[in-house]
């Protein structure tokens, strides 16, 4: 039963226990990509390296057994740098889009490919609670970003969004699961798209909100700026109603600064968000465009006082205001809970970059060849170039956690190929990090998978140019589940 030190903790473990196992039992998280319980250590990714005192080299925690008296550092700067470098080396040689260009182009970060695949309203509303409204008035930057536009024409994303919103309003509108109230209360000044989006997002995280507006109706510029023929007001009213969740209180016809003072709001509420549209400064320091805020946290010069939307930078599209509302909600939550403010953009550590015609053709093979239309069938034209392993990808998760940048050690771009011949899984070699797990798992297959070649150009493939379907008869699901990236991924649906 060796006893050893791990980051100043003294631990006693069974003989033969690896540093990784010991750390995991002690609650110390060591990142791994190529490790899978029950399989021998692959020691390929080297993301789990730790510093063992007295050793010149860093050692992989997954394969190093604890020895009596060992002193192990898992969180030192040297270790963190090495892990980040390993992740950056892998990212720089990893070809794929974590998220589709459509989602990245959307200021509200709407998960467009999922909308097109399933159209599940809850997922849509989580990011963008105004599908019926924005489905009518949005400038649709997503369609400009759409990769299909490089091939022929963009998928008609906005039409799908509108259809999803209208469908929701036609029946019993979706209501999100609401957690119990946390006790925090937030005052929001302005019931436009930014303010109501923030209120909706905050309430979904257990924060009660009071929304003040000096108009008689909520909706801000949606109500008072957009022409009726573009946005019928019954649609607006119906969708507004879905946003006003319990414990979101509307205080209309109230002018903050006159009816009620900002100071009074700041005293009464845990935080205050100014989302009142262009020109409103409420006496706060402002630049030529609007109220001065810290770019990342959206906090004004006053603690606990936030500003977003038109009050900070006028001339935004509605979708931008929605995106700002999301960011403000996250920043306020972080402020309230004392946690660091998350990144504005959802983490995406990898990109295809510019695809050439042949690669687009390969991507387009799996999509409908019909011309663009506003019909529901148009969804089948989506190339689904986003990554299917977004939730499970360890490269994404650890890459984001270690602030690994894909450009640091980016090299020549790998060619894009995509094997979709298997009924259960797809294989995208550009995303493979050569961890060896699938080769190991498939070794009980008759054909299985092999490392072909060696060194930098080593790749995983079925032996003798065999078909993926023959290589993975019984273990396809297991391989896809074990794959630390989206290289081997289960097919949609």
Partner 1 sequence: MAITTAQPEFDLAVVEEIVARHRGDAAALIPILQEIQTHFRYLPEEALRRVSALTGIAPATIAGVSTFYTQFRHAPVGKHVVSICHGTACHVKGAGLVHDALRRALKLSDDADTDADGVFTLEKVACLGCCTLAPVIQIDGVTYGHLTPATAPNALSDFLELERRGHLAASASASGARGLAEIRVGVGSCCVAGGSQEVRQALEDAVRDLGVVAAVKPVGCVGMCHQTPLVEIAIPGAAPAFYARVQPQDAAGIVQRHFTPRNPLKRVANAVSTALDRLLTDDAWTPVTRYALDTRDAPVCAFLGPQQHLATEHCGDLDPLDFDEYLAHDGFQALDAARAMDPAAVINAVTSAGLRGRGGAGFPTGRKWALVRAAEGLEKYVICNGDEGDPGAFMDRMLLESYPYRVLEGLLIAAHAVGAREGIFYIRAEYPLAVTRIREALRRCADRLGDVQLRVQEGAGAFVCGEETALIASLEGQRGMPRLRPPYPAERGLWGKPTLVNNVETLASLPWLLRHGAEVYAALGTPASKGTKVFALTGKVARGGLIEVPMGITLRQIVEEIGGGIAEGHAFKAVQIGGPSGGCVPASLADTPVDYESLTAAGAIMGSGGLVVIDDTDCMVDLARYFLEFTQNQSCGKCTFCRVGTRRMLDILDRLCTGHGKHDDLERLEALALQVKAGSLCGLGQTAPNPVLSTLRYFREEYLAHLEGRCPAGKCKALITYTVTEACIGCTKCAQVCPADAIPMTPFDRHTIDAEKCTRCDTCRRVCPYGAIKIE
Asked if 13 interacts with partner 1 (CB under 8 A), we say no
Asked if 174 interacts with partner 1 (CB under 8 A), we say no
**What x-and-dash track marks residues 391-410 binding partner 1 by CB under 8 A?**
------------------x-
| Dihedral angle sign, alpha carbons of residues 149, 150, 151, 152 | positive
Q: Quick check: helix, strand or coil at residue 411?
A: coil
Among 140, 433, 479, 482, binds partner 1 (CB under 8 A): 433
433/93 Cα distance (integer angstroms): 8
Q: Which stretch binds partner 1 (CB under 8 A): 6-14, 36-44, 105-113, 235-243?
A: 36-44
Looking at residues 442 to 471 of the shown chain, list those that interact with partner 1 (rule: CB under 8 A). 442-443, 445-458, 463-466
208/266 Cα distance (integer angstroms): 15
294/478 Cα distance (integer angstroms): 46
Nearer to partner 1, 77 or 229 (CB): 77
Burial of 1 (0-12, 13-18, 19+ CB in 10 A): exposed
103/120 Cα distance (integer angstroms): 16
- 43, 64 in Cβ contact below 8 A? no
| Beta carbon of residue 457, minimum distance to partner 1 (angstroms, whole number) | 8
Nearer to partner 1, 44 or 237 (CB): 44
End-to-end Cα distance, the chain = 48
| Beta carbon of residue 39, minimum distance to partner 1 (angstroms, whole number) | 14
Looking at residues 40 to 79 of the shown chain, list those that interact with partner 1 (rule: CB under 8 A). 41, 43-47, 49, 56-60, 63-65, 78
| Beta carbon of residue 10, minimum distance to partner 1 (angstroms, whole number) | 23
Query: What's the angle, vertex CA 20, arms to CA 14 and CA 23, rounded to 5?
Result: 75
244/164 Cα distance (integer angstroms): 19
**Helical H segments across 61-120, by residue range:** 77-91, 101-105, 112-117
Nearer to partner 1, 286 or 479 (CB): 479
487/419 Cα distance (integer angstroms): 10
Q: Which stretch binds partner 1 (CB under 8 A): 179-187, 228-236, 441-449, 477-485?
A: 441-449
Nearer to partner 1, 366 or 434 (CB): 434
According to DSSP, residue 440 is labeled: H
| Beta carbon of residue 58, minimum distance to partner 1 (angstroms, whole number) | 5
47/401 Cα distance (integer angstroms): 12
| Beta carbon of residue 440, minimum distance to partner 1 (angstroms, whole number) | 10
**What x-and-dash track marks residues 194-233 binding partner 1 by CB under 8 A?**
----------------------------------------
Asked if 22 interacts with partner 1 (CB under 8 A), we say no
Residues lying near partner 1 in the complex (CB under 8 A) are found at 41, 43-47, 49, 56-60, 63-65, 78, 81-82, 85-86, 89-90, 92-93, 409, 411-412, 433-434, 436, 439, 442-443, 445-458, 463-466
């Amino acid at each position: 039963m060796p006893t050893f030190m791990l980051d100043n903790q003294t631990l006693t473990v069974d003989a033969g226990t690896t540093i990784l196992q010991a750390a995991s039992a002690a609650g110390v998280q060591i990142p791994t990509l190529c490790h899978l319980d029950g399989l021998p250590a692959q020691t390929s990714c080297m993301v789990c390296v730790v510093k063992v005192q007295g050793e010149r080299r860093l050692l992989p925690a997954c394969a190093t057994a604890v020895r009596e008296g060992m002193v192990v550092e898992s969180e030192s700067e040297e270790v963190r740098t090495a892990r980040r470098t390993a992740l950056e080396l892998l990212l720089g040689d990893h070809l794929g889009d974590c998220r589709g260009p459509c989602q990245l182009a959307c200021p509200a970060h709407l998960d467009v490919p999922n909308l097109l695949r399933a159209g599940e309203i809850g997922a849509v509303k989580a990011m963008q609670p105004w599908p019926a409204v924005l489905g009518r008035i949005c400038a649709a930057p997503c369609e400009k970003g759409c990769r299909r536009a490089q091939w022929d024409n963009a998928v008609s994303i906005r039409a799908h969004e509108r259809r999803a919103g209208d469908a929701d309003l036609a029946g019993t509108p979706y209501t999100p699961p609401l957690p119990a109230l946390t006790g925090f209360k937030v005052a929001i000044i302005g019931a436009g798209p930014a303010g109501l989006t923030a209120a909706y997002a905050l309430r979904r995280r257990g924060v009660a909100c009071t929304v003040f507006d000096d108009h008689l109706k909520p909706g801000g510029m949606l109500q008072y700026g957009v022409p009726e023929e573009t946005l019928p007001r019954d649609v607006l009213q119906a969708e507004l109603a879905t946003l006003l969740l319990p414990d979101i209180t509307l205080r209309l016809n109230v002018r903050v600064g006159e009816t009620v003072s900002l100071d009074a709001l700041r005293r009464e509420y845990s935080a205050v968000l100014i989302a009142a549209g262009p020109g409103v400064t409420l006496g706060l320091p402002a630049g030529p465009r609007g109220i001065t805020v810290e770019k990342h946290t959206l906090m004004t010069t006053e603690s606990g006082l936030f500003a977003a939307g038109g009050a900070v930078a006028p001339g935004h599209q509605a979708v931008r205001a929605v995106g700002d509302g999301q960011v403000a909600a996250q920043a306020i939550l972080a402020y309230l809970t004392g946690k660091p403010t998350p990144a504005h953009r959802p983490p995406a550590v990898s990109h295809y970059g510019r695809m050439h015609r042949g690669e687009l053709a390969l991507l387009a093979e799996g999509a409908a060849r019909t011309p663009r239309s506003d019909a529901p069938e148009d969804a089948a034209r989506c190339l689904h170039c986003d990554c299917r392993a977004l939730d499970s990808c360890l490269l994404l998760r650890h890459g984001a956690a270690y602030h690994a940048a894909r450009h640091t050690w980016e090299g020549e771009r790998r060619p894009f190929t995509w094997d979709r011949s298997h009924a259960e899984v797809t294989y995208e070699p550009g995303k493979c990090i050569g961890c060896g797990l699938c080769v190991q798992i498939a070794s009980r297959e008759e054909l299985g998978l092999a490392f072909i070649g060696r060194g930098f150009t080593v790749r995983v493939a079925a032996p003798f140019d065999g078909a993926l379907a023959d290589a993975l008869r019984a273990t396809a699901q297991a391989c896809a589940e074990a794959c630390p990236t989206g290289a081997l991924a289960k097919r949609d649906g």
